[in-house]
Amino acid sequence: MLFPLRLPIPEDVLEIAKTLEHAGFEAWCVGGAVRDTLLGEANSDFDIATSAVPEKVRELFRHTVPVGERFGTIAVRTRRRHHEVTTFRHDVTTDGRHAVVAFGASLDDDLARRDFTINAIAYHPLRHEWRDPFAGAQDLERRLLRAVGVAGDRFREDYLRILRGLRFAARFGFAIEDETWNAMRRNADGLRQLSAERVRDEWFKGLRTAGSIPELVRLWWESGAAAVWIPELVRQVGAGVPAATTEGSPGVSSAGRTDSLSGGIGTVTGTRASGEPRDPVLLTTLLCLVPVTVLARLRASNAEIGRAASMLAGPSEPESPAPIAVRRWLAAVGGAADDLIFLWTMRHGIPPVWATMVAEIRHRGDPLTRKSLAVNGADLQAAGIPAGPELGTLLDRLLSLVVEDPSLNTRETLLARSHTLRESRG
Ligand code: ATP
Ligand code: MG
C-alpha cells in the first residue's frame, strides 16, 4: 500500500502534537484511528504516542486526566474531546494479564509491543512521515490480521490479544494469517486467566462492531475462545438456515433457542451499515443458551442480567396476532416487549406480523398495567375494600378484565366489578 501523503488529522490532535513537539518531544499518531483512516473508515479518536514522560505531559497541558499513568497514559482534554497521550514504552515483565512497562523507549520499541501489524503503524502529523516496521499497511491491503513478532509469545504476554484479534478479523472481514491463527488456537486455554470484565468488554465490542456476527461466532468457536468463556454460544449462525422455531423445540427455553439461527442475524444486524448501534445484551440473549448464566459469568451489570432474565420470564410471542392475544402478551411481558420483538425479528429475518398490532394497541393506549386502570388502590379502599393483600389481588383481576376488554376500563364499571368479584369469591 502506498501511504497517502497526508492523513486528515483533527485540529485538536494537531494542537496536542504541536505542543509536545515545540517542547522538544516526539509526537506520533498511532493505533486504531490511523488504521481505520487508512481503510477509509471515519475515526477521529486518534491516540498519540510521545517521548515525553507522563509528568511532562501533565505539565504541558492545562486539562489532563491520569487515566493510566502507571502505563504511561494521560488523557488530554481539548475543546472537543479527550485524546490519550501515551509515553513510548516497552514491557519489562508480562504474565498473560498485566504488563509492567518502562519508559525511555523509542517509537520502534513502542510499536513492537503492540498487538497486530495493522495496529502498529505510526504517522507523524506535522512532518507527515510514516513508521511501519511490521508492514502493517501491506497487511491492510491484503486484508490480513497478523500478530507483531512471534504470535505465540505475544498472546502469552497478554491473552486478551487473542480476543482482540477475533474482533478485528470479524470487524473488517480480514483473514487471519496462519501462524497467528495457529497461535491463537494453541493458546486459547490461557484465556482462562483473564478477568471476566475484560472478556465481557471484548465480547460486547465484538458484537457491536462485527461486519458479520456469524463470522464472529465462528471465530470464537474455532479459536477455542467460546469453549473457555461462552460454551452456551450457538454453534452456528447461518444465513439461509431455516428459521428456528420459537416453541416446542425439545430442551430449549420458551424463548426458543436452537443450535442454529435463521438468516435474520446475518442480515439485519449483520452489517454495521444498518445504522443503529447494536445492543450487546440483546445479541448475547439471542446467541446464547441460558444467557443469564453467560451474562453473570461475564460480570455484566445487574440491570443487564435482569433485562435478559425478563426476556425469558414470559411467553416469547403472543398466541395469535389477534388484539386480545397481543394485549394479554403485552401485559404479561411488560417492559420486555420491544426486546422480544427484536429477538423474533432476528430469528426469523423479518418482523412479526403482530408487531403492527403492538403498535396499534400502544397508539390507542389500551390499559396493560395496573397503573393504567381507571381505579387505584385508594379508590377501592374508599369504596369499602380493606387495605391488604386482597387489594392487590383485586387490582390484578381488574387488570385481567380490561386486558380482555379495554372498554371496561371506566371507574364505574371497575368499582361495580370489584364488588361482584369479592362476592363471587365469597
Ligand atoms: P478500537 O479502539 O477501534 O477498538 P484500537 O486498535 O484503537 O481499536 P485500543 O484498545 O483503542 O484499540 O488500543 C489502541 C492501540 O493500542 C491499538 O491499536 C494497539 O496498537 C495498542 N493496544 C491496545 N491493546 C493492546 C494489547 N492488549 N496488546 C498490545 N497492544 C495493544
Ligand atoms: Mg482505539
pLDDT tens digits, 296-313: 999 999 999 999 999 999
Atom of ligand 1 nearest to the CA of 47: 14
The per-residue pLDDT for 142 is 97
Q: Is the CB of 161 under 6 A from ligand 1?
A: yes
Banded model confidence at residue 423, pLDDT cuts 50, 70, 90? confident
Nearest ligand to the CA atom of 119: 1
Nearest ligand to the CA atom of 48: 1
Atom of ligand 1 nearest to the CA of 171: 3
Choice between 95 and 186, residue whose per-residue pLDDT is larger: 186
pLDDT tens per residue, range 193-212: 999 999 999 999 999 999 99
Nearest ligand to the CA atom of 122: 1
The per-residue pLDDT for 386 is 87
How large is the average pLDDT for residues 325-332? Answer: 96
The per-residue pLDDT for 253 is 33
Residues, Cβ < 5 Å to ion ligand 2? 32
Q: Is the CB of 32 under 6 A from ligand 1?
A: yes
pLDDT tens per residue, range 57-70: 999 999 999 998 88
Distance 33 CA to ligand 2 centre (A): 7
Distance 162 CA to ligand 1 centre (A): 12
Spatial separation of the C-alpha atoms in residues 345 and 340, rounded to whole Å: 8
Q: Is the CB of 68 under 6 A from ligand 1?
A: no
**Atom 18 in ligand 1: residue holding the nearest Cα:** 31
The per-residue pLDDT for 273 is 45
The per-residue pLDDT for 264 is 57
Q: Chain-wide mean pLDDT for the chain?
A: 90
Nearest alpha carbon to residue 315 among 356, 281, 352: 352
Atom of ligand 1 nearest to the CA of 114: 30
Q: What is the DSSP string of 328-383?
A: HHHHHHGGGHHHHHHHHHHHHSS--THHHHHHHHHHHT---SGGGSSS-HHHHHHT
- Cα dist from 50 to 17, 21, 115, 417, whole Å: 9, 9, 18, 76
- The interaxial angle of helices 302-313 and 280-287, nearest 10 deg, is 50
**Atom 17 in ligand 1: residue holding the nearest Cα:** 31
pLDDT of residue 368 exceeding 90, the answer is yes
pLDDT of residue 248 exceeding 60, the answer is no
Q: Is the CB of 158 under 6 A from ligand 1?
A: yes
How large is the average pLDDT for residues 355-364? Answer: 96
Record the cell numbers describing residue 4, joined without a space. Answer: 497517502
Atom of ligand 1 nearest to the CA of 161: 27
The per-residue pLDDT for 69 is 81
Atom of ligand 1 nearest to the CA of 43: 3
Spatial separation of the C-alpha atoms in residues 426 and 422, rounded to whole Å: 6
The per-residue pLDDT for 238 is 63
- How crowded is the C-beta side of 276, counted as CA atoms within 13 Å? 7
Query: Which region among 87-96, 219-228, 234-243, 348-357 has the lowest average model confidence (pLDDT)?
Result: 234-243
Distance 31 CA to ligand 2 centre (A): 6
The per-residue pLDDT for 421 is 86
**Atom 13 in ligand 1: residue holding the nearest Cα:** 31
* Residue 74, SS3 per DSSP: strand
Nearest ligand to the CA atom of 114: 1
The residue whose CB lies within 8 Å of the most ligand 1 atoms, and thus the one to mutate among 97, 164, 199, is 164
98 strand-pairing partners:
none
The residue whose CB lies within 8 Å of the most ligand 1 atoms, and thus the one to mutate among 82, 89, 107, 115, is 115
